[in-house]
Amino acid sequence: MNSQESKKSRIYLDYAATTPVDSEVLKAMIPYFSDKFGNASSVHSYGQEAIVALDKARQIIADFFACDWREIIFTGSATESNNLAIRGLIKETSVHIITTTIEHESVHESLRQLEKSGHKVTRVKCDKEGLVSVSSIEKAVKDNTILISVIYANNEIGVIQPVKEIGKLLEKINKRRRENGLNKIYFHTDAVQALNYLEARPDWLKVDMFTFSGHKIYGPKGISGLYVRKNTPLNPLILGGGQEFGLRSGTENVASSVGLAKALELVTKHRKKDSVRITKLRDKLLDAIIKTNINIKLNGSLKYRLPNNLNLRFAGYDNETLLVAFDQVGLAVSAGSACSARAAKASYVLSSLGLSDKEAKESIRITLGRYTTDAEINSAINIIKQSLKQLS
C-alpha cells in the first residue's frame, strides 16, 4: 500500500481533539489572506474592507448566541479565553472561586495561579458517572465567592453538566446577595466541546461568560472567542493597541474570525441532523465493542453524554499500546485530552470518577464527527476486534 492509499483508508475518530476545516469555512476565509488582507485598524480602504468583514463576523456570532455584538471577544485559543475569564475577572483582596475537578487544564492552571496570589478555590467533585450536582455547587458558595466556572461538557468523557440549572440557582442566589449587600457571583462555562451538539445561548444557560473554540467546530485553529456579558468587570491579560474593546490587544485575525463565524453558521445548519446521526453511529460502535469483550466498560454516564463521545476502559490493556496498535492499522483515537496526550499521566478526569491510575491508563477516548461514515464505523469495529485479539 503506498502512502496515498494508506492516507485514504485512515479513519479519524478523534474529533474532540480537533476537527478538519469545513470546505465552506475555508472558502469564506480565502479572500482575507490575499485580496482583502488589510489591517482592520487602518483608515484606508484596505482597512475598511477588513473591519467590515470583522464586524460582520462578530455580528453573525452574536446572532448565533442571541447576544450583543459588543459581548463577543475574539481570542487566539479557548485556552486564552478561559484564562481571560478567570484571571481577568477583577478581584478584591482574597476572593473565593468555585470550580469542578473535571475542568480543562486551562481552567485548572488559571486557578492554581490565582491560589498562588492568595485567592481560595473550591473544587467540587463529580460522582462516579462524571456528573457534578447543583446542590454541591450551592453548598460551596461563600460570602466572598466571586466566580463559578463549570465546564458544559467534559472533553474526555463527554459528560454534560447541569450548567443551565446552576445558572438558574445562581440567579436566585445573586438576588438574595443583592438584597444583603453582597457582590454578584459571575458564572463562566467552557462550552468548547458542547457547541456542536447543545444549545449554548448565554441567556438560556444563564451564564455571564462562556468559551468557544474554532477548531472544535470545523473552523480554523488559532481563533476562539469569549462571550462576556455587558458589565462583567474584566481586565485584559494582553495589553497593547486596545483591540477587542480593550480586552485583547493585537492585530485582529480577520480571516480566522470570518472562518469562525462561518463555522457557527454551519453548526446551526448541522446540529440537529448531526446529533441524531452521530448518536446512532456512536451507539452502534459501543454495542459492537462491548459485545466483543466483557472487560470493556464505558467511563461516565451514557445518558448525559455528548452524542459523539465514547470513553472506554479496556481492562488488562495499556491505552498507549492500544493507541499504537490501532494507529498502525489506520484508526486514530486518543488516550485522553489532546493537551495531556503526551504526558503519559493517568487522567485526572478519570481519577475524579473513582478510577485507579491503572484503570485510567486502560482507557481510551473515541470521538466521532460530522464526516464519520457508517463504513468507517464498521471498519473501526473490525480494527478494534482484530487488535484486541492480537494483543491478548
Residues that bind ligand PLP (CB under 6 A): 77-79, 104, 106, 151, 155, 190, 192-193, 213, 224, 337-339
Helix (H, G, I), strand (E, B) or coil at 233: coil
Closest Cα partner for 277 from 194, 133, 373, 390? Answer: 373
Of 83 and 243, nearer to ligand PLP (C-beta) is: 83
Grid cell digits, residue 250:
493585537
Of 145 and 161, nearer to ligand PLP (C-beta) is: 161
Smallest distance, Å, CB 315 to ligand PLP? 26
Local structure of residue 69 (DSSP, 8 states): G
Active site residue 339: yes
Amino acid at the residue 231? N
Q: 339, 343, 344, 391: which one is catalytic?
A: 339
Helices within the chain (DSSP H only) = 3-8, 23-29, 45-65, 78-87, 105-116, 134-140, 163-179, 202-205, 254-292, 319-328, 348-352, 357-360, 374-391
Smallest distance, Å, CB 19 to ligand PLP? 11
With cell 472567542, the residue in question is 225
Instruction: Please return the burial class of 287, using the count of CB atoms within 10 Å of its CB with bins 0-12, 13-18 and 19+.
Output: exposed
Smallest distance, Å, CB 105 to ligand PLP? 8
Of 131 and 173, nearer to ligand PLP (C-beta) is: 131
Of 57 and 173, nearer to ligand PLP (C-beta) is: 57
Smallest distance, Å, CB 151 to ligand PLP? 6
Amino acid at the residue 246? G
For residue 96, what are the β-bridge partners? 120, 145
Active-site amino acid positions: 339
